[in-house]
Amino acid sequence: MAEQSTVTFIITRQDSPESSPYQETFEIPYKKNMNVISGLMEIRRNPVNANGEETAPVQWDMNCLEEVCGACSMVINGTARQSCAALVDELEQPIRLEPMSTFPVIRDLFVDREQMFDALKQVKAWIPIDGTHDLGPGPRMPEKKRQWAYELSKCMTCGVCLEACPNVNDKSDFIGPAALSQARLFNAHPTGEMNKSERLEGLMEDGGISGCSNAQNCVQVCPKGIPLTTSIAAMNRATNIQSFKNFFGSDHAH
């Protein structure tokens, strides 16, 4: 691989949210240890395609460059993953880049993941701690549980699990696996637990947990190895119990 002098990218591009996609090929000089993002940066530096024509630089999204923010997800050689963590040496050439198909394209490889943030709002994936006075420290979390919860907290809203899910698409309003698992994370927190039922209610709203039909692709593709299907089954149990409490009545419904 080291003596190879150029790298070929075939990129699916789209000029605006409404326009139709097309492919453009780029050949750029090979550099040692380059990743897909450094390839894209090279194209941005010198936006000339393989036919020698000057073109608009390719747009993409990125932030952390170390696989923790999730912004740079795209479909690389058929697999949705983070472009900052995709090393060119480990990819088959030509390298095909496409935007994730589940999300609306803003431009080229840049997609709009807003639906994921709306989903987090639906399930109230945060812990309300603000009051009009000092509420004092919350209950402590056992260390073992903290370690367990840490795994769930690694989610970076990257969208790879939504891309893989057959039930997340424009025909369905299913919010996808990531937010379901986040509801579990915050319900497991000793302070977050105080608003447990509100998150469960969010999961029971339209597009919520009942949109899952257990294809279980999400757990296979999550780059952070989050046990999504265990989270979903756990939340299935919790929402069912909550719905029984709501219907039959319970002092522990809230």
Partner 1 sequence: MAEHREFFYRRLHSLLGVIPIGVFLIQHLVVNHFAVYGEESFNKAAGFMHDLPFRLALEIVIIFLPILFHAILGVYIVFVAKNNTRRYGYFRNWMFYLQRVTGIITFVFIAWHVWETRVQIGMGNAELDYSLMENILSNPVMFWFYIIGVISTTFHFANGLWSFMVSWGITQSPKSQKIATYATLVVFLAISYIGVRALIQFAYGV
Give the residues lining the site for ligand FES (CB under 6 A).
62-65, 67-72, 82, 84
222 near ligand SF4 (CB under 6 A): yes
Contact 35, 88 (CB under 8 A): yes
Identified binder of ligand SF4 from the candidate list 76, 95, 228, 232, rule CB under 6 A: 228
Please state, in angstroms and as integers, the Cα–Cα distance from residue 198 to each residue in 110, 153, 211, 252, following that order.
33, 19, 19, 13
Q: Does 167 bind partner 1 (CB under 8 A)?
A: yes
> What tokens appear for 118 in the block?
């709306």
Strand, helix or coil at 181?
A: helix
Tell me, by CB under 8 A, how many residues bind partner 1: 41
- Sketch the per residue contact string, 8 through 47, with ligand SF4: x for CB under 6 A, - otherwise: ----------------------------------------
From the CB of 62, what's the least distance to ligand SF4, in Å? 15
Distance of closest approach, residue 250 Cβ to partner 1, in angstroms:
15
Q: Name which of 57, 29, 30 is nearest 45 in CA terms.
A: 57
Q: Please check whether residue 157 is in contact with residue 113, taking contact to mean a CB–CB distance below 8 angstroms.
A: yes
CA angle 62, 67, 70 (to 5 degrees): 55
How far apart are CB 90 and ligand SF4 at their closest, in Å?
Answer: 20
Euclidean distance between CA atoms 115 and 111, whole angstroms: 11
Give dist(CA 160, CA 217) in Å, integer: 10
Q: How far is the CB of 240 from ligand SF4 (least distance, A)?
A: 22
Contact set with partner 1 (CB under 8 A)? 78, 164, 166-167, 169, 171-172, 174, 201, 204-217, 220-221, 227, 229-230, 232-241, 243, 246-247
Contact set with ligand SF4 (CB under 6 A)? 70, 155-161, 178, 181, 222-224, 226, 228
